[in-house]
Amino acid sequence: MKLATWNINSLAVRLPQVLDWLAANPVDALGLQELKLVDEKFPFDALKEAGYHAAAFGQKTYNGVAILSRTPITDVVRNIPQHTDDQSRVIAGTLDTPDGPLRLVNCYFVNGQAPGTEKFAYKMRWLEALHRWLQEELKVHRRLVLLGDFNVAPEDRDSYDPVGLKDTIHHTVEERQHFQALLQLGLTDAFRLFDQPEKSYSWWDYRMLGFQKNRGLRIDHILVSEALRGRVIACQIDRLPRKNPQPSDHAPVVLTLG
DNA sequence: ATGTCGTCAGTTTGACGA
């Protein structure tokens, strides 16, 4: 089966591209981030016609996440339990698969703006809360996938300019330590289970011809629990949609499980 | 190189977030 993540930077603008991509890439489930719309405006009908169930957690203007799935989504959780947050950043759900239930946790991690800002402090608090919750979630769900826009470039090779951007947002030691802490829960970065092309990125700034010059970051990730690690067959970034007219600044990442 | 998008308030432009 195939699972994917894609920050689409406004579902209102990008719905046609999402439908086109799903037609060409009929994945079993897709986690979306940055919907930028309220649930009343979520396109349940268009997605149903495309063959997908959906669970949404939106808000006005900013943030917003959703899970699309070929099969029904159960036990849906919105945001991190016992962590007060007025921003819609997390949606989790359980999918039925031939090998049993699979827990999908789809997150739009905090951007954090810059070290030393209040937004960065919020990012740190959010990351701590996510870690605490996932520790519990992993005890209940052996087969768990954590995916989304992490807003962290885990290693220098995940950045087009690790020297020039050292200690800036997405690159700080603190953010990378939080990423490592997630791995220490038993999660594995599926992308790095395989040989990958050098300079593989999932996000490119709209400005300064970022994509054309491949000045990007790998900040969209798919992490799998120990029980799933041996089932991972492939993990790839699909750069094609970034070439579309009016693209999202992020590309989808696709995981194949056997 | 304060570079480009998307959204909103509220009027055709600026503020904010990324």
DSSP A132-187: HHHHHHHHH-SSEEEEEE-----SGGGBS-TTTTTTSTTT-HHHHHHHHHHHHTT-
- Determine the average pLDDT of the residues in A52-60: 98
Residue range A14-23: average pLDDT?
98
Q: What is the pLDDT, as a whole number, of residue A134?
A: 98
CA distances, A218 to each of A50, A184, A251 (Å): 29, 20, 10
Could you identify the residue whose CA is nearest to the C1' atom of nucleotide B5? Answer: A206
Q: Which of residues 94-123 of A touch strand B (CB under 7 A)?
A: 110-111, 113, 119
Q: Say yes or no: Cβ of A10 under 7 A from any atom of strand B.
A: yes
- A108 as an active site residue: the answer is yes
At A69-91, the pLDDT tens digits run: 999 999 999 999 999 999 999 99
- Catalytic option among A28, A149, A158, A189: A149
- What does the alpha-carbon distance between residue A57 and residue A65 come to, in Å, rounded to a whole number? 5
Domains of chain A: 2-257 (3.60.10.10)
pLDDT at position A19? 98
pLDDT recorded at residue A131: 98
- pLDDT at residue A103, rounded to an integer: 98
Strand B contact at CB of residue A59, distance < 7 A: no
Share of chain A above pLDDT 70, in %: 100
Q: How confident is the model at residue A230 (pLDDT cuts 50, 70, 90)?
A: very high
pLDDT at residue A58, as a whole number: 98
Q: Which nucleotides of B are covered by protein (CB under 7 A)?
A: 1, 3-8, 17-18
Query: Does the annotation count A221 as an active-site position?
Result: no
Q: For residues A234-248, give the mean pLDDT.
A: 98
A7 labeled part of a ligand binding site = yes
Q: What is the pTM of this model?
A: 0.98
Question: Residues A137-183: pLDDT tens digits?
Answer: 999 999 999 999 999 999 999 999 999 999 999 999 999 999 999 99
Determine the nucleotide nearest to A35 by Cα–C1' distance.
B6
User: How many Å apart are CA A113 and CA A35, to the nearest integer?
Assistant: 19
